[in-house]
Amino acid sequence: MGEDKEPTIFDKDIHTDFLEKMTYGDYLQLDSLLSSQKRLSGHHDEMLFIIIHQVSELWMKLILHELEASIVLIKKGELSLAFKMLARVSKIQSQIIQAWDVLSTLTPAEYMEFREKLGQASGFQSYQYRMIEFKLGYKTKHVLEIYKKDQKLHGELLEAYKKSGIYDAAILALSRAGLDIPDEVLNRDYTSPYEYQQSVEDAWITVYKNVETYWDLYELAEKLIDIEDWLQQWRFRHMKTVERIIGHKKGTGGSSGVGYLKKVLDHRFFPELWDVRTKL
């Protein structure tokens, strides 16, 4: 028998010498990323809990990246470029929703083994989630108190709290298309949660009844509906996962837990876009 030969599994041109070159791990900073899972207990399932939340935060970072850019584009009137970004946001949301299915493999008995190690830390304190709410027009000043520990972060959140959101940009697009939007709506106090406006509903009704004339605005409306729809599905899966794991206990951050999560399901970010379906 001849000598055993190592099977050829790689293309001969694949690079293998990285002594002085950047690798995949270098580019993604994997040393830092993969060493960021610090369990505070010795329990096996705490790793699942940490990774699910870290991955969700990474996806939220990308959502914010896309939302910020799309707001700028909508304000410039470059709607078609914003549509790709908004479609991407919806796809990202589907990934975050599916993460709840993985977390749901954590049983109540398993979670109780390390829950006390969380102290008062809670997903309620996710500043990126608050940023997303701000960009969608839901502003709550009292939550800013949570972040005073980090003055830089608090300043960034305060700035986002004062800015207009994506729905304000969409309403501006309605006005620029010649639809009647009063100045007080266009120049509203952005630090207040957006509330239903009859003039905005009338404008969207015109768009939906004249799709060919207002195709870009019609597509923008549907992209926004997609985002709110997926966000509400995320909220629902969040609520059911919490109920499945801890029942109706209070959250680690002090909220009422499932009770609080059920209440936020009633909130609408873009009320006229939902109401218009009844009026058509």
Q: What is the mean pLDDT of each run of 10 residues along the chain (280 residues)?
A: 58 77 93 96 96 97 98 97 98 96 96 93 90 95 91 95 97 98 97 96 98 98 98 94 90 81 91 96
206 annotated binding-site participant = no
138 annotated binding-site participant = no
Whether the Cβ atoms of residue 185 and residue 174 lie closer than 8 Å to each other = no
Amino acid 3: pLDDT: 55
Amino acid 221: pLDDT: 98
Q: Hunting for tokens 């801890």 — which residue is that? A: 246
d(CA 269, CA 137): 6
Amino acid 206: pLDDT: 98
Nearest to 64 by CA among 38, 33, 96, 32: 96
**By CB neighbour count within 10 A (0-12 exposed, 13-18 middle, 19+ buried), where does 17 fall?**
exposed
**Within a domain: 32:** no
Please list, in sequence order, all residues whose beta carbon lies within 8 angstroms of the beta carbon of residue 120, skipping any fewer than 6 positions away: 252, 253, 254
111 annotated binding-site participant = yes
**Within a domain: 30:** no
50 annotated binding-site participant = yes
**Within a domain: 12:** no
Listed in sequence order, the DSSP H helices in the chain are 24-28, 30-33, 46-76, 79-103, 108-112, 127-135, 151-162, 166-176, 183-186, 198-209, 215-246, 258-264, 271-279
Amino acid 249: pLDDT: 87
Amino acid 10: pLDDT: 63
Domain that holds residue 198: 41-278
44 annotated binding-site participant = no
Amino acid 8: pLDDT: 60
Please list, in sequence order, all residues whose beta carbon lies within 8 angstroms of the beta carbon of residue 53, skipping any fewer than 6 positions away: 123
244 annotated binding-site participant = no
pLDDT single digits (tens) 97-107 = 999 999 999 99
51 annotated binding-site participant = yes
Amino acid 219: pLDDT: 98
**By CB neighbour count within 10 A (0-12 exposed, 13-18 middle, 19+ buried), where does 42 fall?**
exposed
**Within a domain: 26:** no
**Within a domain: 50:** yes
Amino acid 6: pLDDT: 57
**Within a domain: 20:** no
Amino acid 254: pLDDT: 78
Q: Which two tokens stand for residue 4?
A: 């055993």
Domain containing 113 — which CATH number?
A: 1.20.58.480
**Within a domain: 172:** yes
9 annotated binding-site participant = no
Give the chain's domain count: 1
Distance (Å) of CA 74 to CA 17, 68, 70, 195, 267? 46, 10, 6, 21, 24
**Within a domain: 242:** yes
246 annotated binding-site participant = no
